[in-house]
Amino acid sequence: MQERPYVMSVAGFDPSGGAGLLSDSKTFEQSKVMGLGVCTALTLQTASKCLSLEWRPVKEVTDAIQVLMENYPVSAVKVGIVKDAEFLGEIVKTVKISNPEVKIVWDPVLKSTSEFTFFDLKTLPQLKTVINKLCLITPNYNEYSVLKEHNLLPDTNQCSLLIKGGHRQDHLGTDILVENGKETLLVPVEDHQIYFPKHGSGCVLSSAITAELAKDESMETACKQGKLYIEKFLKSNPSLLGTHSL
C-alpha cells in the first residue's frame, strides 16, 4: 500500500461538523491523505449561526504544531480561522521553522456567512509581512475586496491567489486562480447542475486543495481537483450540512 502524505489543519472546532477541523478531517480522509489537526478556537455554532467563540492561546497552538511536525512528515498545512494577523504570523513562523518547504494554504475567514466576525480587522495592515510566506490564499469575493482595498493581495509569483466565485453576482461559481501573474478561470463543470448552499464550503474547498498539493499536484491541478470535490459536496443534499462521499 502506498503511504499517504501527512496534512495538517490549523482551524477552529465547529460542533456541527460542517466547518473547521471536523470538516477538514472528513475532506482529508476522502482525499486519501493522513489528516492531523490543531485547534485555534472553540466555537458554539450550528449550520446556520455562530453563537460563541473562545480563542485558544497562541502559545498552545504553536506548541501543538511543533509537536506534530516533529513527529510526522507534514507536506502541507491548511489554516482556517485565526484571531488576527499576529496569530497567523506565529502559526506560519512555527511551521516554517519546523520545515521551510511545507506548503501553507490560508482560507481567510474574516466573517461567517451569518455575519459573525472572526478576524480582528484592525490588524489587517500587519498581514503584509505574512501573506507572501504562504503558498495560496482562498478568499471569497467579499474577502478579496477587503484585502484589495487594504493593498494586501499577494505577489502571485510567491503566493497564489484563488478568488472563489460563490458570492459573485455575475458568473456565479466561476473561480479565478492567479498564479505567477497569470489568471485562469475555473468554471463549474456543469452549469445546469443544482447546487445547494452549504455551511463550511470554504473550509472543504481549501482543505481539498491542500490535500492535492500534499500529493505534489501543481497549483492549477490542485485547484481544479478541489473544485470537483466541492461541487460534489454542494449537490450532496438540500440541507446546509453537506456529506462527503467517494
Q: What is the pLDDT of residues 113-127, one digit of tens each?
A: 656 788 999 999 999
112 pLDDT band, cuts 50/70/90, is: low
> What's the average model confidence in pLDDT over 120-147?
94
Picking from 243, 198, 181, 206, the residue whose alpha carbon sits closest to that of residue 76 is: 206
Residue type at position 2: Q
Q: What are the phi and psi torsion angles at 155 (to 5°)?
A: -75, 110
**In-domain check, residue 243:** no
User: What integer pLDDT is reported at residue 245 of this predicted model?
Assistant: 79
User: What integer pLDDT is reported at residue 159 of this predicted model?
Assistant: 98
CATH code: domain of residue 194 = 3.40.1190.20
Q: Give me the chain's average pLDDT, please.
A: 92
**In-domain check, residue 1:** no
- Structural domain count of the chain: 1
Residue type at position 42: L
Residue type at position 57: P
Asked if residue 81 lies in contact with residue 119, where contact means CB atoms within 8 angstroms, the answer is yes
160 CB-near residues (< 8 Å, 6+ apart) = 135, 136, 137, 154, 177, 178, 179, 219
**pLDDT tops 60 at residue 1:** no
Residue-number span of the structural domain to which 228 is assigned:
6-234
**In-domain check, residue 239:** no
**pLDDT tops 90 at residue 12:** yes
CA distance 240 to 72: 34
**In-domain check, residue 240:** no
**pLDDT tops 90 at residue 79:** yes
**In-domain check, residue 244:** no
**In-domain check, residue 246:** no
Asked if residue 103 lies in contact with residue 210, where contact means CB atoms within 8 angstroms, the answer is yes
User: What integer pLDDT is reported at residue 54 of this predicted model?
Assistant: 96
Mapping DSSP to helix (H, G, I), strand (E, B) and coil, where does residue 181 land? coil
User: What integer pLDDT is reported at residue 118 of this predicted model?
Assistant: 87
Q: What are the tens digits of pLDDT across the range 159-187?
A: 999 999 865 666 667 899 999 999 999 98
CA distance 145 to 210: 23
Q: How many residues does the chain have?
A: 246
**In-domain check, residue 241:** no
Q: What are the tens digits of pLDDT across the range 206-223?
A: 999 999 999 999 999 999
Angle between helical axes of 85-98 and 58-71 (0-180°, round to 10): 20
Asked if residue 197 lies in contact with residue 242, where contact means CB atoms within 8 angstroms, the answer is no
Cell of 99: 520545515
